[in-house]
Structure 1
Amino acid sequence: MFFHVQRLINEIVPDEPDPAAANVLQEGLGGQFGEMRTMMQYLFQSFNFRGADARPYRDLLYGIGTEEISHVELIATTIARLTDGSPRYNGAKDDPLDQPGARGMTPLSNALSQGNVHHFLVGAQGALPVDAVGNPWSGSYVYNSGNLVLDLLYNLMLESTGRLQKCRIYEMSANKTLRSTVAYLIVRDQAHENAYAKALETLGVNWGKTLPIPKTNAERFPEVATLLEKGLHTKQYTFSLDHLSQAGKVFRGTAPGQDGQVLRTAQAPEGFPMDIAPERPEEFSPGLDPALLELIQATAEMEAAEADEPIRYSRA
């Protein structure tokens, strides 16, 4: 079973809306090396896992796959914040009068000139399961050979390529909302590289010669450097509420490719508060009109009153 805690795994820093940045970030969500792919690949490898003696490796896959669900949640929410073009948004004071975010008369005009128009036409200023050029996410991306070594090698390559692409995305925009999310994912990708590289080492695979991890020097990004100082790249979460995960038998010892840093596991991060975005009248969504809302509230009050009534028993 999976449980949902209504907190984001990382804080989304507020900034001005930027539909173009949102569209670039779609690659990190629905692209071939994006978060939807890593989520589905690791979970399917977990579901199809065979061999009780190799359970620590299955538990490692389960923990990373579960974390990837939170990454999909984080990046999708970030895209929604970046596509927020409502005139209710408090835009910059020097914005043109007719620019969404200022207080103009054409609230969705930026959909015609920036980013992906489907963010507005189809998604109501929200994320879509597509890549940066609008190709739908495909289940054919998922690799699950059934061979543990092959799967781990493929996963290591997937994390390395995903981190490389996120470094490129980081340098495409100075928007703080985009960079806060991308920097976090860059560091977590590095943690997952450590996980799969370490797992391969325990299986006798010299991954450094087989598949060298590319050097991105992402630590020069200020947000990334801050997270690295906290050791976020050497920690892996198990998300195991019953504390039965054996992933710690694999994710331990000296980190691969690092200078003597030690790997450690933890159940789950504390997370950050999750706010529900305000309604967007210009998108005609979600559409709770006053009459319907009044009916919902009346029904809820009636059900609450019935629940408070004492139970009466009758003799047959």
Structure 2
Amino acid sequence: MFRHTKLLQCEAKPERPDAVYARKLQELIGGAYGEMTVTMQYLFQGWNCRIEGKYKDLIMDTATEEIGHVEMLATMVARLLDGAPAEQAAAAAKDPVMAAVLGGMDPQQAIVAGGGAMPNNSQGVPWNGGYIVASGNLLADFRANVAAEAQGRLQTARLYNMTDDPGVKEMLRFNLARDTVHQKQWLAAIEELISDGLEQPIVPDALFDEEDQTHNHTIWHLSDGTDGDKGGWVGDGTDLEYLHDPEPLGGPATAPRPNPALYATYSPTMDAVGTVKGKAKKLKKKAT
């Protein structure tokens, strides 16, 4: 059960309208690392969590908080759009809605949302459920959460420097602080998962005996850069080593002959598995 309280977590009152900035704030609502993403990511992680207790409670506490962040930003967007836009746009169009569009409002904010926020990013692209990570493995999920909060805080910091409105900055200072504590909590929870013996650093903690032992400790040098092996991840105290001249292990990446009904172009000399007819026989004869 969720219960809504009619008070914002933090005030969301701009000093003046700004349709252009309202559109920018849409990124923090419906972007890949926006508040809708972390809201749904944490909700599904919590709903899928198989362990009752501290981990599930932490996830659900944070998920519910993030719902409030969406509300704060949506409220700020609506208030930034109220009375927008700039004077020159208003002079160009007497109708206030058209003037707002000319002043920089996302047309969908006017046409679809009636001057309010949308579940979209700053380019008008709708939010996508494919943005979320909820795998059921808490270590993998918590690492994804750290990355999501880091990207979200980065975008908030950039937007903080794109406005001089004191009211907007007040709200963003709150958002920055919450993104900070969320990074801290997920990093701490990762350490606790390991210390509790629930997970190990490699996810999943299984199939180590089954994997190819030749290739589970080598970093392949495959770029022109020459400094990759100078990092602390190789050498004493690690089980990683640099393979400086890796060789391909497979054959040509030739697709097999297509189904004739698909009318894809192929050479008549190719057999069903994508190799040149007769070549395999020649190689076999040479080997003998």
TM range (shorter): 0.5 to 0.7
- Give the 3 Å change call, closer, same or farther, for CA 190–99 of structure 1 in structure 2: farther
Give distance in 2, aligned partners of 1:106 and 1:40. Answer: 38
Unaligned regions of 5+ residues in structure 1, if any? Answer: 211-316
* Residue matched to 1:256: none
What residue in structure 1 maps to residue 73 of structure 2?
75
Q: Which residue number in structure 2 is paired with residue 62 of structure 1?
A: 60
Per the alignment, residue 35 of structure 1 pairs with 35
1:23 is paired with a residue whose SS is helix
Q: Deviations over 1:133-164 (max 9, x none)?
A: 01000111110111110000000111011000
Alpha-carbon distance change, 110 to 183 in structure 1, aligned in 2, over 3 angstroms: same
Q: Distance in 1 between matches of 2:133 and 2:89?
A: 50
For residues 124 and 130 of structure 1, the distance between their equivalents in structure 2, rounded to whole angstroms, comes to: 15
What is the CA-CA distance between 1:202 and the residue it aligns to? 1.3
Residue 187 of structure 1 is matched in structure 2 by 177
Residue 6 of structure 1, CA deviation: 0.7
1:33–1:161 Cα contact (<8 Å) kept: yes
Provide the residue aligned with 2:82 in structure 1.
Answer: 84
Quote the Cα distance in structure 2 between the aligned partners of 1:163 and 1:86: 27
| Aligned CA-pair RMSD | 2.2
Contact 1:82–1:177 (CA under 8 A) maintained in structure 2: no
User: Is there any run of 5+ residues in structure 2 with no aligned partner, and where?
Assistant: 196-200, 202-288
SS in 2 for 1:57: helix
| CA 18–136 in structure 1, closer or farther in 2 if over 3 Å, else same | same
Report deviation, 1:51.
2.6
Does the aligned pair in 1 maintain the 2:90–2:100 contact within 8 Å?
A: no
Provide TM-score, normalisation by structure 2: 0.63
TM-score where L is the length of structure 1: 0.58
CA distance in 2, matches of 1:132, 1:72: 15
1:106 counterpart = 2:104: no
Q: Corresponding residue for 1:172?
A: 162
User: In structure 1, what is the Cα distance between the partners aligned to 2:10 and 2:172?
Assistant: 10
Separation (CA, whole Å) in 2 of partners of 1:97 and 1:146:
51
Corresponding residue of 2:18 = 18
Residue equivalent to 1:148: 138
Alpha-carbon spacing, 1:99–1:173, altered in 2? closer, same or farther (3 Å):
farther
Bigger Rg, structure 1 or 2: 2
Candidates 193, 207, 228, aligned match of 1:203: 193
Q: 2:113 aligns with which of 120, 123, 128?
A: 123
Letter in 1 for 2:49: F
Deviations 1:183-229 (Å, cap 9, x if unpaired)? 21111011111110111121238xxxx9xxxxxxxxxxxxxxxxxxx
Q: Following the alignment from structure 2 to structure 1, what is the Cα–Cα distance between the partners of residues 60 and 10? A: 20
- Native 8 Å contact 1:26 1:131 kept in 2: yes
Structure 1 match to 2:281: none
In the TM superposition, residue 86 of structure 1 has moved relative to its aligned partner by 6.6
* Inter-partner Cα distance in structure 2 for 1:143 and 1:204: 20
C-alpha contact (below 8 Å) 2:81/2:100 kept by paired residues: no
**Alpha-carbon separation, structure 2, partners of 1:202 and 1:164:** 26
Amino acid in the other structure paired with 1:60: L
Equivalents in 2 of 1:13, 1:122: separation in Å? 23
**How far is 1:117 from its partner?**
1.5
Select 1:136's aligned residue among 126, 133, 137. 126
Task: Quote the Cα distance in structure 2 between the aligned partners of 1:124 and 1:10.
Answer: 24
Alignment correspondent of 1:159: 149
Q: Which residue of 1 aligns with 2:47?
A: 47
Residue of structure 2 equivalent to 1:3: 3
Distance in structure 2 (CA, Å) of the matches to 1:97 and 1:37: 34
Q: Tell me how far apart the structure 2 counterparts of residues 163 and 130 of structure 1 sit (CA, whole Å).
A: 18
Distance 2:89 2:100 in 1: 13
Residues 17 and 83 in structure 1, CA contact (< 8 A), matched pair in contact too: yes
Equivalent pairs counted in the alignment come to 195
Structure 1 pair 17/45, CA: closer, same or farther in 2 (3 Å)? same
- What code does the residue aligned with 2:150 have? S
Percent of aligned pairs with the same residue?
38
Distance in 2, matches of 1:141 and 1:38, equals 9
Structure-2 residue corresponding to 1:218: none
Deviation, 1:85, is 2.4
